[in-house]
């Protein structure tokens, strides 16, 4: 039972009770330290063991003060005082919540009214009816669950709170999913104002002088549970990422991203919303004189050219060159199944045609003790889809391989406007989609593709939302938004 002095309205009484608790924890530690019966490690561990109960007691007093203040305010609005009503302080009108200092038990300071029992303090602790964790504890649970399996997250929470918090892994999962379901798309991206400030120092298009904003989308596979069995199938989720490159440090700056559960139409809807919200303005204007050049870097899937490309007519469209090389390599295996040397030669010619240089072509060497190695030659970049098309059209395949070559030729012709790699690189643009691929690695795979993991679609989507919120750099801003606890509690929480 909580000591009555901790829930007293008299601040002096509460202070004395807290000081007594602190002294009771402090005196044995000082005695052990002066007697020499304490090592440095034991001193630190015992200090945490002493401070956690004191912190829980202080939190009890603070929560009780908030609950009592809510009751007083409700009575003031009715023109009455605490003396005019009967308080309900029996055990049915206390609440227990898990905080980062452990479980805290506080009375609601409910009172009997003509309408029944009123508990105004429920509005101060809206999460109590839904998850029985404080807002800060809920944040810690979500942060750990975003990086670790739920069982390990529960163990880490207990470890870092020195045993004060002991939750089941199912509870951590439920709370993390609750948070993930309430992360809106706008929080997964920097605000347009923040993007504008980042673009002031972004690498620019040497032709137009505009800062470059890159955007890409790519599918990513997760293992989903099917029906109610343990059979797991791979399901695709589409990732979206927006970034730029800092010209001062030459490092990638993440401007936002998300994972979309749905088909190509869901991805198109996301791009449409990002364009309307000002994250990806159609004309590149972010305000205050900052006009960016949008660069769309993707693979060669048909739906991208059909649905996504028309959304950004003024953007620079790039087909990732390594996807082109993969297509050529696959076709070369069909064209020359019994001549791998000739197939490799075709792939090498294709690489040169689109401007992908070998290492020896990109560096120079000098002999002698003062030799220089791996120094990039400053020569203009070359390479285009037209040069690749010229090589492919000169091939004379067998009748059996003709269909595969025609498919490759159609692939190149359709995407010809996205293959001017030499010109694009001379303008200072990055032509690869490695930034999108790396998002799969640290945004999803490190958490979602652990050994043996299988996900329901709802839990997977919620966890991806939590991870992308942390990656966006707006974690603290999201949690400190006024009314966040009310939103997590859902409608009707104060009833």
CA distance 119 to 494: 9
Q: Encode pLDDT of 38-51 as tens digits.
A: 899 999 999 999 99
**Among 83, 92, 95, 165, which residue's Cα sits nearest to residue 123?**
95
Both tokens assigned to 445: 């795979």
What's the whole-model pTM score? Answer: 0.89
CA distance 188 to 214: 16
Q: How confident is the model at residue 353 (pLDDT cuts 50, 70, 90)?
A: very high
The torsion region of residue 424 among left (phi > 0), alpha (psi -120 to 50) and beta comes to alpha
CA distance 317 to 148: 37
Residue 214, C-beta contacts closer than 8 angstroms, at least 6 positions apart? 242, 243, 244, 245, 295, 297, 430, 435
Q: Is the pLDDT of residue 371 over 70?
A: no
Q: Encode pLDDT of 152-165 as tens digits.
A: 999 999 999 999 99
Q: Is the pLDDT of residue 177 over 90?
A: yes
CA distance 448 to 228: 20
Q: Encode pLDDT of 232-263 as tens digits.
A: 888 889 999 999 999 999 999 999 999 998 88
Helix (H, G, I), strand (E, B) or coil at 127: helix
Residue 347, C-beta contacts closer than 8 angstroms, at least 6 positions apart? 325, 328, 329, 332
Asked if residue 197 lies in contact with residue 289, where contact means CB atoms within 8 angstroms, the answer is no
* Cβ neighbours around 346 below 10 Å, total: 21
Q: Encode pLDDT of 252-303 as tens digits.
A: 999 999 999 888 999 999 999 999 999 999 899 999 999 999 999 999 888 9
- CA 359 remoteness from chain centre: 36
Asked if residue 353 lies in contact with residue 383, where contact means CB atoms within 8 angstroms, the answer is yes
CA distances from 347 to 77, 167, 322, 382, 466 (A): 80, 56, 11, 17, 42
Which DSSP string corresponds to 281-333? -TT-EEETTEE-EEEEEE---HHIIIIIGGG-TTSEEEE-HHHHHHHHHHHHH
């Amino acid at each position: 039972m909580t000591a009555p002095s901790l829930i007293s309205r008299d601040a002096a009484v509460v202070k004395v009770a807290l000081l007594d608790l602190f002294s009771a924890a402090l005196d044995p530690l000082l005695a052990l330290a002066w007697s020499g019966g304490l090592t440095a490690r034991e001193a630190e561990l015992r200090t945490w063991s002493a401070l956690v109960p004191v912190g829980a007691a202080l939190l009890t007093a603070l929560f009780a003060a908030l609950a009592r203040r809510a009751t007083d305010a409700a009575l003031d609005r009715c023109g009455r005082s605490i003396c005019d009503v009967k308080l309900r302080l029996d055990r049915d009108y206390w609440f227990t919540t898990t905080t980062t200092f452990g479980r805290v038990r506080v009375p609601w300071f409910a009172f009997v009214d003509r309408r029944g029992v009123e508990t105004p303090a429920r509005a101060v602790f809206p999460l109590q009816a839904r998850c029985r964790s404080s807002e800060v504890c809920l944040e810690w649970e979500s942060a750990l669950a975003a990086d670790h399996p739920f069982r390990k997250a529960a163990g880490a929470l207990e470890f870092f709170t020195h045993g004060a918090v002991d939750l089941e892994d199912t509870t951590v999962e439920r709370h993390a999913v609750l948070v993930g379901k309430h992360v809106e798309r706008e929080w997964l991206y920097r605000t347009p104002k923040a993007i504008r400030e980042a673009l002031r120092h972004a690498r620019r298009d040497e032709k137009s002088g505009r800062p470059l904003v890159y955007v890409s989308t790519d599918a990513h596979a997760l293992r989903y549970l099917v029906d109610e069995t343990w059979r797991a199938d791979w399901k695709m989720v589409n990732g979206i990422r927006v970034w730029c490159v800092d010209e001062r440090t030459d490092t990638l700056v993440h401007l936002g991203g998300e994972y979309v559960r749905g088909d190509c139409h869901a991805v198109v809807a996301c791009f449409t919303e990002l364009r309307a919200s000002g994250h990806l303005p159609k004309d590149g204007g972010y305000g205050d004189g900052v006009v960016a050049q949008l660069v769309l870097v993707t693979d060669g899937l048909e739906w991208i050219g059909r649905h996504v490309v028309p959304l950004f007519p003024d953007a620079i469209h790039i087909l990732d060159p390594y996807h082109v090389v993969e297509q050529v390599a696959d076709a070369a295996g069909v064209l020359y199944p019994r001549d791998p040397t000739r197939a490799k030669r075709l792939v090498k010619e294709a690489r040169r045609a689109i401007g992908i240089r070998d290492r020896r072509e990109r560096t120079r060497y000098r002999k002698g003790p003062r030799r220089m190695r791996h120094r990039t030659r400053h020569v203009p970049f070359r390479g285009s889809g037209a040069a690749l098309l010229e090589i492919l059209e000169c091939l004379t395949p067998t009748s059996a391989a003709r269909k595969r070559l025609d498919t490759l030729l159609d692939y190149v012709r359709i995407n010809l406007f996205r293959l001017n790699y030499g010109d694009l690189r001379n303008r200072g643009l990055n032509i690869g989609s490695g930034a999108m691929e790396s998002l799969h690695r640290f945004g999803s795979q490190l958490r979602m593709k652990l050994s043996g993991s299988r996900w329901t679609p709802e839990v997977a989507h919620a966890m991806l939302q939590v991870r992308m919120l942390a990656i966006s750099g707006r974690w603290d801003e999201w949690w400190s938004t006024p009314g966040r606890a009310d939103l997590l509690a859902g409608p009707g929480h104060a009833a």
